[in-house]
Amino acid sequence: MASPKERGAKAGGLAVALREALNKRGGLWFGWSGETQVDPPSEPKVFRSGKVTYALQTLDPEDQRAHYAGYANGTLWPLCHYRLGLLNFRRTDWEGYRRVNATFARALMPLLKPDDIVWVHDYHFIPLASELRALGFEGRIGYFHHIPFPTPEVFLTLPSHAALVRDLSRYDLVGLQTEHDVRALLTYVSSEARGWIAPGGVVGLRDRRFRIATYPIGIDADAFVHDAEAAAGSEEEERLKASLAGRALAVGVDRLDYSKGLPNKFAAFGELLKSHPERRSTVTMMQVAPLSRSEVTEYQALRRELEELAGAINGEYAEFDWVPLRYLNRPFQRATLAAIYRTARLGVVTPLRDGMNLVAKEYVAAQNPEDPGVLVLSRFAGAADELSGSVIVNPYDVEGMADALNSALSMTLGERKDRWRANMEKVTRNTIHRWCETFITDLSGVDGYGAGVEPARSLPAPKKATRGRN
Ligand code: GDG
């Protein structure tokens, strides 16, 4: 989770929305300080800003490596994105991951009141509830998994799968992005962990009862519409348009991450220029790809691969007055992104696997309703469940993607408007604020779950598992 230091170009919509939710209610934001130190202090640095108290824990450097680059991003990230070839499992990393969660729980525990509710974010902290329960915390704890939850066939390759699901059962509410993810976890619970499932996603596992449900994350749609309207006619937008010299713009914005399908996207753009030569010199692709997790080896290899691909496409097709692919490894301010989104005729979001993908929703929100662009979206992004007005593509089919880009570039204004309206309706209905409120309300409302609670009589007998509806 982002720390309060994260500002400007790096602060994402999620960090901003959570800070807003906390500011409204008051509360405690607990996380890593971003610093490491041998023999770190056992107590976090605590300070207050408005209604929010921030508590930031410093970590031992080896623990931090084993936890972050090791187990979280070297094991869980590839696993949850179905990239078993990239998965590295080392017991020392797993132990470091657990140690960091235990350290966090020990630092957090003295700051908690018995009736506090705790909301834990993402795969870095799955064992946090177990550790807090072991220290005696009995209040509500919820967990939201921002990335996909893999199907049992994939999840079972993880040596620590059973321990992680036991950790999940220590929460009262486990939130996932899509129905597909919920089905994947429920199938594991019933078929592998011998748990029982009741309607509404209530799950029993050993002595625990908890709920698993779908909470598709959204964006701050109003803020994006506002930023995009403010960008109209701005100096930045004018400069961008002048640089395009009347050509269409296709835009991608992704952290430099192998889950985002960037090589496939570049290859599809190259294929478009090859198989539809009439498109040459008429469309420019801009890929914003800020570096991320540069300490993990796989990310360094991806960076080299993309540099080669971009160089090859530009070397093959560039003209003295046209560079087909603009590839930028740096972050931009949100207002600049809004201007780029609004100018772009195509938003190209083609992850191989993605929990949701907020860029897809931001692109939709930033469009000019009178002349909207088209979203080209991977079927493997969680956002594809909601954004049915998009041109849905399979990122593994490079030629199919090239054809989809070609037909999206030819779309009539009428079709663009129809597709955009369908998408915009979803983006404005299911915002990040609604997502926060719904999760917190549901977590506050869950009743009777927790350690030692027997399944209620009205629930199905534990022996025969049934699939819950969500
Ligand atoms: C994880 C899951 C899930 C990107 N470049 C710049 C910039 N960004 C912002 C985007 C967007 C955010 O970062 C990226 O969000 P995504 O959802 O696309 O992807 P992940 O970072 O992988 O997020 C994902 C998400 O959690 C939330 O649950 O949707 O599936 O993987 O907001 O705009 N922001 C600025 N400058 C940049 O250059 N300001």
Number of H helices, E strands in the chain: 17, 15
* Spatial distance between the Cα atoms of 3 and 77, rounded to a whole number of angstroms: 20
pLDDT for the residue numbered 25: 82
Residue 459 predicted with pLDDT over 90: no
Average pLDDT, integer, range 115-133: 97
Residue 3 predicted with pLDDT over 50: no
Average pLDDT, integer, range 149-173: 97
With cut-offs at 50, 70 and 90, classify the pLDDT of residue 298. Answer: confident
Judge if the beta carbon of residue 277 lies within 6 A of ligand 1.
Answer: no
Q: Give the count of alpha carbons within 13 A of 79, CB side only.
A: 23
385 given a catalytic annotation: no
End-to-end CA separation in angstroms for the chain: 27
Burial tier of 3 (Cβ tally within 10 Å: 0-12, 13-18, 19+): middle
Burial track 78-108 (b if 16+ CB lie within 10 A, e otherwise): bbbbbbeebbebeeebbebbbbbbbbbbbbb
Judge if the beta carbon of residue 360 lies within 6 A of ligand 1.
Answer: no
Residue 4 predicted with pLDDT over 70: no
322, β-bridge pairs: 319
pLDDT for the residue numbered 293: 83
Q: What is the pLDDT of residues 319-352, one digit of tens each?
A: 999 999 999 999 999 999 999 999 999 999 999 9
pLDDT for the residue numbered 19: 78
Mean residue pLDDT across the chain: 91
CA of 74 to the centre of ligand 1 (A): 19
Average pLDDT, integer, range 188-196: 95
With cut-offs at 50, 70 and 90, classify the pLDDT of residue 468. Answer: very low
Q: What is the pLDDT of residues 402-411, one digit of tens each?
A: 999 999 999 9
Residue 452 predicted with pLDDT over 50: no
Q: Which helix (H) or strand (E) holds 197?
A: strand 196-198
Residue 470 predicted with pLDDT over 80: no
Residue 74 predicted with pLDDT over 90: yes
Q: Quote the Cα angle for 367-371-372, to 5°.
A: 40
Q: Are 211 and 172 in contact (CB under 8 A)?
A: yes
Name the residue among 390, 458, 4, 432 with its Cα closest to residue 216: 432
pLDDT for the residue numbered 391: 98
Q: Is the dihedral of CA 461, 464, 469, 470 positive or negative?
A: positive
pLDDT for the residue numbered 299: 86
Contacts of 74 (CB under 8 A, 6+ apart): 87, 88, 90, 93, 296
Active-site residue identified among 121, 145, 146, 161:
146
With cut-offs at 50, 70 and 90, classify the pLDDT of residue 295. Answer: confident
Show the tokens assigned to 96.
Answer: 């470091």
Judge if the beta carbon of residue 289 lies within 6 A of ligand 1.
Answer: no
Q: What are phi and psi of 26, to 5 degrees?
A: 80, 150
More confident residue, 457 or 215: 215
Judge if the beta carbon of residue 9 lies within 6 A of ligand 1.
Answer: yes
**Lowest model confidence (mean pLDDT) among 10-24, 112-126, 134-148, 386-400:** 10-24
Q: Which of helix, strand or coil describes residue 116?
A: coil
CA of 73 to the centre of ligand 1 (A): 16
Judge if the beta carbon of residue 288 lies within 6 A of ligand 1.
Answer: yes
Residue 302 predicted with pLDDT over 60: yes
Q: Are 243 and 249 in contact (CB under 8 A)?
A: no
More confident residue, 234 or 181: 181
pTM above 0.85?
A: yes
Judge if the beta carbon of residue 349 lies within 6 A of ligand 1.
Answer: no
Indicate which atom in ligand 1 lies nearest the CA of residue 146: 28
CA of 330 to the centre of ligand 1 (A): 14
* Spatial distance between the Cα atoms of 93 and 100, rounded to a whole number of angstroms: 10
Judge if the beta carbon of residue 331 lies within 6 A of ligand 1.
Answer: yes
Residue 448 predicted with pLDDT over 60: no
Residue 8 predicted with pLDDT over 90: no
Q: What are phi and psi of 434, to 5 degrees?
A: -65, -40
Cα 344 to chain centroid, rounded = 23
Show the tokens assigned to 157.
Answer: 């390759």
Residue 447 predicted with pLDDT over 80: no
pLDDT for the residue numbered 13: 57
* Spatial distance between the Cα atoms of 372 and 422, rounded to a whole number of angstroms: 12
Average pLDDT, integer, range 348-371: 97
Judge if the beta carbon of residue 253 lies within 6 A of ligand 1.
Answer: yes
Q: Are 236 and 336 in contact (CB under 8 A)?
A: yes
Judge if the beta carbon of residue 359 lies within 6 A of ligand 1.
Answer: yes
* Spatial distance between the Cα atoms of 404 and 394, rounded to a whole number of angstroms: 10
pLDDT for the residue numbered 55: 97
Q: Are 186 and 402 in contact (CB under 8 A)?
A: no
Q: Which residue has the tokens 């087909």?
A: 324
User: Ligand 1 atom 28: the closest Cα is on which residue?
Assistant: 146
CA of 356 to the centre of ligand 1 (A): 10
Residue 466 predicted with pLDDT over 60: no
Of 120, 214, 255, 330, which is best to mutate to test ligand 1, by the most ligand atoms within 8 angstroms of its C-beta?
255
CA of 161 to the centre of ligand 1 (A): 27
Residue 353 predicted with pLDDT over 60: yes
146 given a catalytic annotation: yes
Q: What are phi and psi of 318, to 5 degrees?
A: -60, 150
CA of 43 to the centre of ligand 1 (A): 31
* Spatial distance between the Cα atoms of 236 and 240, rounded to a whole number of angstroms: 6
Average pLDDT, integer, range 171-180: 98
Average pLDDT, integer, range 355-380: 97
CA of 368 to the centre of ligand 1 (A): 22
Of 357, 377, 387, which is best to mutate to test ligand 1, by the most ligand atoms within 8 angstroms of its C-beta?
357
User: Ligand 1 atom 38: the closest Cα is on which residue?
Assistant: 331
pLDDT for the residue numbered 12: 57
Residue 451 predicted with pLDDT over 60: no
Average pLDDT, integer, range 361-367: 97
Q: Which residue has the tokens 């499992």?
A: 89
Judge if the beta carbon of residue 263 lies within 6 A of ligand 1.
Answer: no
User: Ligand 1 atom 20: the closest Cα is on which residue?
Assistant: 357
Show the tokens assigned to 58.
Answer: 């410093």
